[in-house]
Every structure is written in structure tokens, then in C-alpha cells.
Amino acid sequence: MIGSYGRRIRSGARFPAALGGLSALACAILAVQSPAQTGSAHTSRLTVSVPRQGEYMVRLLPGKGAKDPHQLPSEFREAVTQVDYELDQLGEGPRIAIDNMSTGETAIRPLTGERAPKKGVLDLKEIDFDHLRELQVRVTYKDKPVTVARVELRPRDAAPRVGVLDPTMKGILSFSDVPLGRLRLSVIYGNKYTQTQDVELASARKPGPVVLDVAVANRTSTVDQVSPSPEQTPAKPEPAAAAPATPGAPAPRAGSGGLTGLLGTVLGLILGAGAIWLLYRWSTSGGMAATLQKAGIEVSGPPAETPAPTPWTPNAPPPPVVADTSRCQFCGEPRNAAGECACSTTASTTAGAAAGAAGASPRLIGNGGVYSGSIFAVGGAVTIGRDASCGIALPQDNSISRTHAALRQDANGFVIEDRGSSNGVFVNGVRITAERPLRSGDEIQIGNSRFRFEA
């Protein structure tokens, strides 16, 4: 049994990858040489063949009531291998999974029932690898990870999967052994908002998990808005111990250099200047003698000199203003025969420039998702979708339908409508059910992509 007895999976003879047709023959030979039951009365042996050599992993998936639910996976690299297991330890409905580590795909077969391997032989083809080893669902709001959400996956021919996000996951929830093909994904978040979309799940044909991005439309808390807990707060580094002094080397001066030394120097200069100014004011006001006299102590000697007051001189009156009707009283420039001046010409020029700016063509500016930063011009009537025939084609977002939405211009401006898409059209966070007029600055969400409409 894998994991319980620590046995290594025994690989069959090496066959070239190109001779995939010999794999079935090798399985039959190994099955004849190694009977389905080994020396133990409860240990079974299964011969497994894969289309070609590579890096593979074997996992036993125990069922309900398993005596040993934690099975240790084992890896092999040959086209044919053998697996020993104890069926009575795996509970009801056990399965076996073969992971292709190079493509991230998995083949899963039951060990009991009608679909179980016959005569101890499991011959796998490329088409049998119809699951993803790992799917990561990344939930975001305005490109920031969502704090808390419930994610449901409903594959077409399999039981639904449910997972719950918490702040420690930073918006990423992982699912294992997910069937390829069409599935329905639902996210429940915030104030019981629900966002549902249909996704065509395909393999990336490379190692590692497949990441599915979901951008929710309504405002909700994100990870960067949550204060870090004391356990997550990084500890301050302890100061490094001072190196032992070298004989004959000068000792370092405390406080010299660095920001602390600079601030100390500036503060010292300010205090010194203030002290000098106070001494000057004290000396000009009579010095020590004046201070003692104010305290009621009689002091002999010449009285302190009191500076004579400066006589007040009124300001000279401003020169009279002489009106010149041939010049503008605002800009001072001469008027022409029509009575216009430089400021009149500037006002008309500014009005013309403003009218030209108002005639800018309408456009969609991406501000979220894979098309963030992209600009699409909108003129007259245009369709939006993944299909290349659409006026605005968005093939990189797999949550967008082939013909998702349409924009058109009428007498009052531009309107947008949903063309029967799977995941809907949202304007300013609200899903539309009929034609919706657009104003400059409105935010439009189509699938997982967001745009700002400017006209």
C-alpha cells in the first residue's frame, strides 16, 4: 500500500516515448507475470500505463469510512508502472489519480464498480487526463484581493465544490481535481451580493495551477483595508552588535553622521541664534541696571539711554488718474475702430478652443482587468465581445460572451444594451436589463473587464 508500507512503485521496462502502442502489450505482460493478488491476502496490485514517459504522480483517494485516509503519493517516470494497495483500508468508493506534472492534468478512475480497471490493468490515453490538478480562483475588487467571500464551483457532470476565503488567503482559493469543461462559478461577498458566471475551463498545458480571475462589481472590503494582526506585524530588527575595537584605531564619535547628527546640528544653530538675539535685546533695553530697577532695587550710575522716538510722516497722496478713452481700462491696450482690444480677442480665441475640445470622439478606456490601460474608439453603432467580428473584440477575457453587448448613438447620446450574455453588463455596479443611456464618466463592467466611458 502506498505510504503505509513505504514500498517504492516498481517501474516497468523502459520503452521509447514514440512506441506508445507497446504500452498496452507491456501492461498485459506485467499483469500476467504479476497476479492481481500478491502474497498478502488483502493486498492488490494494479499495472498502470501512460501514453509516454515523463514525470507522473500516483495518488490513492480513499472513500467514506477509510481506515487509512492519509495515503502517501508516489512518483514514476516510465510509461508502465505497478501500484500495490490494500482495498479494505480505503473505505467505500476509493479512486486512483494519476497526475501529469508536466501539464498540470489528472486522470481519475474508481477502484471498484463497473468503471474499475479490468484484470488489474489500467491503460490510460491522452483523453483520460480530463481534470485539473489544481485550480486557483482569485477574487478581486478594483484589482485588490477581497477579504472574505464564499466561492462555489458547479461542474457540469460532477458534484459542486464550495470554499470560503478569509483574510489570510489574500483573495486566492484553491480547488483540486476539478473537471475540465464548462462550469458555473458563484461568488457570495459583501452585503450578501452574489455574482455568477459561466466559465469554459481549459488546461494550460504547463506545470503549476491554473488561475481564474474573478472581479466583483460591488464595493466590498479588500485585504489592504484590514489592519495587520500582532502576529502579522513584522518584528523590528535588533541593532547589530558593535564590532570589537582595533588597537590603535580612532574610536567612533557618537552621533556623528546620519540624519540624527544633522538634526542635532540644525537645532543647536537655532538655539544659539536665539540666545544671541535675546542678549542683544537685553543689552539695548538697559542691561542689568534696567532689570534691577524693574525689580525695585535702586542702582547708582548714569540712567540707561532711551532711544528718541521717530517722528511720524504721512504718506504722499497717490497721483491723480487720467482716463484715456482710446485705451482699455482692463488691459491698457489701445482699442481698434470697432472698440475691441487685446482682451476681447483673447476671449473669442478661448471660446473657440473650448468648442474644439468639446468635439473629442467618444471612447472606452480600460481601468480594470486584462484590458486595463487600453483605449477603444466608439463611433455610431458597435458590438462588444470575444468574437473577432465584433467592433470591439476582447478575446483575452474568457468570461466575456462571443457577442456580449452593443453600443449605439441616438438623438440623446449613447446607449448600451446586453446582447444575451452569460455574465451580464454592469453600469456603475448595477446589472442592466434593458437599454441604458450613458454619460461621460460612467463605469462599464463586461465580464471581468472594466471600462470608463468618455464622450
Mean pLDDT of 344-356: 39
68, pLDDT greater than 80 = no
446, pLDDT greater than 80 = yes
SS3 452: strand
Mean pLDDT of 317-333: 59
SS3 202: coil
- What percent of the chain clears pLDDT 70, i.e. is strictly above it? 67
Q: Are 403 and 383 in contact (CB under 8 A)?
A: yes
Backbone φ and ψ for 223, nearest 5 degrees, come out as -65, -35
433, pLDDT greater than 80 = yes
Question: Which tens digit of pLDDT belongs to each residue from 273-309?
Answer: 989 988 888 777 766 666 666 666 665 555 555 556 6
Question: Which tens digit of pLDDT belongs to each residue from 399-420?
Answer: 999 999 999 988 888 999 999 9
The pLDDT of residue 106: 94
SS3 85: strand
Mean pLDDT of 89-95: 89
Q: For residue 104, what are the CA distances in angstroms to 73, 368, 452?
A: 16, 28, 37
The pLDDT of residue 263: 85
Mean pLDDT of 349-355: 38
Backbone angle region of 88, left / alpha / beta, with phi > 0 → left and psi within -120 to 50 → alpha: alpha
Q: Give the confidence band of 96 by pLDDT, cuts at 50, 70, 90.
A: very high
Q: Are 400 and 426 in contact (CB under 8 A)?
A: no
Domain boundaries defined on the chain: 43-128, 131-215, 363-454
Backbone angle region of 181, left / alpha / beta, with phi > 0 → left and psi within -120 to 50 → alpha: left
Q: Are 425 and 414 in contact (CB under 8 A)?
A: no
Mean pLDDT of the chain: 78
Pairwise pLDDT comparison (34 vs 268), residue with the higher score: 268
Question: Which tens digit of pLDDT belongs to each residue from 185-239?
Answer: 999 999 989 999 999 888 888 898 999 999 999 999 999 854 444 444 454 555 4
What's the predicted TM-score (pTM) here?
A: 0.47
Mean pLDDT of 156-184: 91
Fold of 131-215: Immunoglobulin-like (2.60.40)
The pLDDT of residue 125: 93
SS3 172: strand
23, pLDDT greater than 80 = no
Query: Rounded to an integer, what distance in angstroms lies between the CA atom of residue 335 and that of residue 386?
Result: 62
65, pLDDT greater than 90 = no
Query: Rounded to an integer, what distance in angstroms lies between the CA atom of residue 438 and that of residue 390?
Result: 20
Pairwise pLDDT comparison (389 vs 32), residue with the higher score: 389
The pLDDT of residue 201: 87
Q: Are 111 and 96 in contact (CB under 8 A)?
A: yes
H or E stretch covering 413 = strand 413-418
Mean pLDDT of 65-88: 88
100-104, 135-139, 358-362, 382-386: lowest mean pLDDT where? 358-362
The count of other CB atoms within 10 Å of the CB of residue 446 is 27
Which CATH number is 363-454 given?
A: 2.60.200.20
